[in-house]
Structure 1
Amino acid sequence: MQLNIQTAKRRKALSLTPLIDVVFILLLFFMLTSSFIKWHNMELAVSKPSTSTVQSSDQPPLLFTLVETGELSLRGQVYNETDNAVLAQLIDENSDASVILLTTDQVNVQQIISTIDRLKRLGAESVSLNTDR
């Protein structure tokens, strides 16, 4: 007499490879869709051509020209990144005057925004960007 005893079926081991693949895909998805940059808002005044000659203050505006190297030019004098103390003193002396920033064609947007932020940090109350050529 032969007994028909079946041995218990062994369960296959659960493969972790698909689980690890899913975890990596989720990690990649969340890393790519997350934002790690803290965004700041900055008010930007764009000066318009004016037909009236009436100024809000007695002093003429400070017309800074930004070139592609990041240097500022005012009345023929060139100021670079190390001249912040001189620029702060100049802006402080002309505190009633508005500051208008002119740019050349080779200047990129990041240089413009950085320069406007720099001028505001140095004490300029109102900085406008002139878009006229």
Structure 2
Amino acid sequence: MQDASGGPQWVQILIAVVAVLGGGGGLAALVTVLLQRRKFKADAADVLTDTALTLVEPLKARVSELETEVSSARKKASAANSELERIRDQLRDVVRLMVRMREVILADPTASPELREMVQSVPVQNGRGLG
């Protein structure tokens, strides 16, 4: 776009800006500010990166500690579950033995009446064990 003097409008704007900034010295100052702005952004990014790394290292160490603790806890839980299953199996065996002994005592006509009464007083649930 051109104005009445015949030159492009952007040239006139550029000349006006240079004049306002005080000629070449003002333009140099503007360029310096723009370059320092980029450097400031780069410095700020470096500070943020360093801060993030400073915070991440202790967190990595803590995560590693927690992973070790979780692994240990899982091993202990697994061992406890195995022990619990072993005890349940033993309990089933004992209950089966007691049920079988009850059946033998009740089937034996020579068993004392007191023993028969005691064995009969313990209920058996669905034939699975003692109540």
Fold shared per TM-score above 0.5: no
Higher strand share: 1
Question: Considering only CA atoms, is the larger Rg found in Structure 1 or Structure 2?
Answer: 2
| Greater helix content | 2
TM-score normalised by structure 1 residue count: 0.28
TM-score (structure 2 length as normaliser): 0.28
